[in-house]
Amino acid sequence: MVYTTTLPAPAFALRRQIDRLLENSLGNGQAFQGDWVPAVDIRENERELNFAVELPGFRPDDVEVSAVEGILTIHGTRNAVRSEGEQERYHLVERSYGSFLRRFQLPEGVDTDKIEAEVTDGMLQVHIPRTALPEPKKIQVKTRVDAVTSPPKALAAESRPGSPKKLNGVGRSK
């Protein structure tokens, strides 16, 4: 049997390699390491950030989600379940297997203590609630009235009648 696709199998492998090279060189605020990269959509509204990650065939036990010091990390492994024998053999394998690791810098104003994640129909949904950004505290700047209106104590003592005048920093009178 011969199977045809719109893109030959080597094109898929080439695309994965190009994606991997671009992610490693450009960074895009995320670190990549692993055998494949699941597609991710990130949405935002006034209540939350939502990460939708394509993970077909994954169970909740196959993926880990964590947030430490403002970095969201999504890690998982998809094991190959291929078995070839005398009775069957594969002609085309396009699905990716192995581990993946995705990291995302989270913005200010999210509550990492209340992150929720669920896998439904091959999609991992990570919900990160927004919090109110702290308002800058305005600090009133005061002036010291007595420092401006009254002379320093040393000058006040010299200006009194009958007080000895200093000459060259020594307390002798003229």
More confident residue, 108 or 155: 108
Ranking 16-20, 30-34, 80-84 by mean pLDDT, the lowest is: 30-34
Asked if the model's pLDDT at residue 107 lies above 80, the reply is yes
Instruction: Report the CATH number at residue 99.
Output: 2.60.40.790
Q: Is pTM, for the whole model, over 0.75?
A: no
pLDDT at position 129, please?
A: 96
Q: Is residue 134 situated within a structural domain?
A: no
CA distance 23 to 31: 8
The encoded tokens of residue 50 equal 């939502």
Residue-wise pLDDT for 153-164, tens only, equals: 655 555 556 555
Mean pLDDT for the chain? 77
Q: Is residue 125 situated within a structural domain?
A: yes
Domain that holds residue 61: 9-129
Counting Cα atoms < 13 Å in the Cβ hemisphere of 165 gives: 5
Asked if the model's pLDDT at residue 41 lies above 90, the reply is yes
Tell me how many degrees the CA angle 127-62-36 measures, rounded to the nearest 5.
90
pLDDT at position 1, please?
A: 46
More confident residue, 128 or 134: 128
117 alpha-carbon distance from chain centroid:
17
Q: Is residue 144 situated within a structural domain?
A: no
**Number of domain units in the chain:** 1
Residue type for 148, please?
V
pLDDT at position 18, please?
A: 73
Q: Is residue 68 situated within a structural domain?
A: yes
Q: Is residue 124 situated within a structural domain?
A: yes
What is the side-by-side strand order in the sheet with 63-68?
Answer: 63-68, 71-78, 98-105
Q: Is residue 141 situated within a structural domain?
A: no
